[in-house]
Structure 1
């Protein structure tokens, strides 16, 4: 069942009966009783409301602009899941607005009409994503606004701020012109960060401080997303979802579920203090440091990738703004300069940008040929294989490559890897004296995906790629993208060592087993249907061989036609 929230704001004079102020609790209590709306929730103008969304069940919030040329601000903050939200305006007739009396029956009728019909509403703004997004207009006509929110991923919590005045009572912290976090130094077990302070106007209001968060998964775009992550193993037990929605929303807003006070809420209470407050759990660390604009994380693991986020938080209201996150890898402990490869053992090797890694493979009692199979996951890497000090192979590699080098008892083989200028390299290397053992799937030299523009329609795209005649399993995946696509996500998808294990089931289009007996051409084509007009999608192809290792073709972004 859809749950509807009634979001009401400080009125001017419009709907108030004599002796009753429209922003007073008595007015809204009377309105609740007369409208017969399920699960109503009331919030005053300029306040922030916390709500709960069931997966695929929309929530609706209403608020009113009572006079023409009203400034309207709406700010939606997703927590632990992306949201789709739409703002719609219903211009109310003069009988409801500006007559000096609260016509509850007529107002309730228009709200129900707005909710139950599609015709009256004017679409004002819509957005889909997991980042904070705002809508603002200086001169809204008088009318009733409906904000509808939907989570297609999972049950989630969200926050909404709305205002119908020029100056909200306590605004969100104003970030500097450059909101990026700078990594100032990196050690084996420490990372130092610095950032520009918020505006002086924000600092003057009620004392705004900073909270710094680190984890090993990804950057977070909102503070409530961090709160949800820190809570998930404590407060939100499966039984918590059995609470009535209103009790759950209240529990989320007060950091209490099933009677337990969340320690995170206590930490945020000291944001303005000069003494750091700490919340630490399972590889996650949140530190609130007052008005400092730099911080050093200690006791980190060497050679580990960490993500860092900074939030400016108002100590009075707990409202926050997020800086642009950063990530870096701590320095690895010094190891022997030459890494020894073992016969028949798959080894992962990381090469820094413009860095050099040395590897050796010296089978003790073997003659004939040795095979070196390499899967370069990210950037192009220069490879040299030296046999007894002489260059046997030298070339730049990407994707999956196989090299064979002659071998006599006592020969010494040195493998040199040089990182490129564009970024670091990640490789999987397999050296063996048994050439029939191949860990990686057979892939063609050309691994780009071809999209046929002439066959692209409003609801379908046709994609093709090269295959080989060896037995492989090919899987095609498709992911919808937003216009505000995070480019880091796209780069992450270009890692050819990634398997489909973390992809959603709904993203899988098809999987095919192809081999020499049933493949007549090395070209494989597939038509994907059921798409939305004018929508961007990311296409990925994964090929898996008999050893279950996976190679991912470079992803391709496509867009369906807007009109056909």
Structure 2
């Protein structure tokens, strides 16, 4: 019944409405079937319609004449734009808003400044003028001059239009004779906020702080957890710093991007529903003066403040620190890219100006040096109970990849943690079985070994570790089982046949044997020894072997020249070109006594 389309109708539509209105009154005077009851029903519906349409009529823009004696508009209820004061309005998506203003007769020039918040805003300025001065008899009614001029206006002039998310100002001469100026605003993306400022006369807008010719924020110092900023002083800041000045510099630090205005920064923080996530990422809005905090209204609880805002000068660094143009932002994370913005806030008027933001990456955290491992050279490391050892390795070639091979040579458990420059790459528990760790993504690596044996074990843990550059190949394959099997049916008085599992990769396998005087076996330390610790007389045979089917990759060897009824210790080593040799579990076999 009272749709917004009625408020956009033309003068012709209004005259038609008045004609229908008169016809309604004529019908109301005709007697119906119900006599007075029919008239009362019409009055009842007219009252309901008045109740429904009443609020919409109060919101009607001045472009729609009402049912008045002269078709004049009650402009007192329109959205007027006050001069010399910032007008903040809510702009719904795809719903234009209009602001109206008039200028005094002696005004020669004026300016209109539109400050979008976080999305581009379409805005235009239109003037509705009258070609002739209205007749004097129309002034007999108690109407304001703008209302009288509006009722006799017939000419619309589009003065200016612009689309963007930056602060935009129109400056120009006043139109004479001018009736009404109309500022139309519209947002296409989503609902937003916009501020409009009207100023009579020439010159820059007086309510906004003035930026210097070069409003660039510069980084003058960077540390692991701090960044020092400096920016040119604003011409609005007095030469002699006064304690009662309403101007304040405020700094915003975040991990996303720079903001073109203070409103956009605040709206971005308000839209973030997870405040704890904002704290974890390090987005920090430095507190503002008390007047600024009051402007945030009911949404100020969504803004993260490190500390309450004091009435006097704040103690925290860069907390809207007055008119000082140097600031050190601290408590930052190492090796992190931050975006830094500076806003000049006028707490007396609620206006602000944004400097051109910058970005800076904090320095990397100092890393411990650790014992360097030589490429492809095995190293023995002794770990005290519940002790640790830090090692480092820098691979050769590109890309910088490394292969770690480790084995614990004693009944202990050792935790190994390998990290690059910024993150942990691997963490595993190593015991008797050899373990390979493939590292990539960093030019250097830190390896930390920690003895995790129970408190009852008082002996040291012995770890054999080797690091090799692996830029030219993938990680090698270890045998699925490291057991050595003897075949009883193939055993004789002077020979023994043994077998072991190989891999699908071609490797050299060497079999060593030695005569035992008793049934004793090898110690834990001997399990980590390679073929370099054995004499040439103990080497029985060496052979290359591979099988593409891992389930059938079993190799055998027959060792002869043995004595009858004698126990021998057999060891098999898988010797690789890169990486430490892998020793199989020792096997004790006794030859037949009677053949």
**Higher strand proportion (structure 1 or 2):** 1
TM-score by length of 1: 0.45
TM-score by length of 2: 0.43
Q: Which has the higher contact order (CA 8 A, sep 6+)?
A: 1
Larger radius of gyration: 2
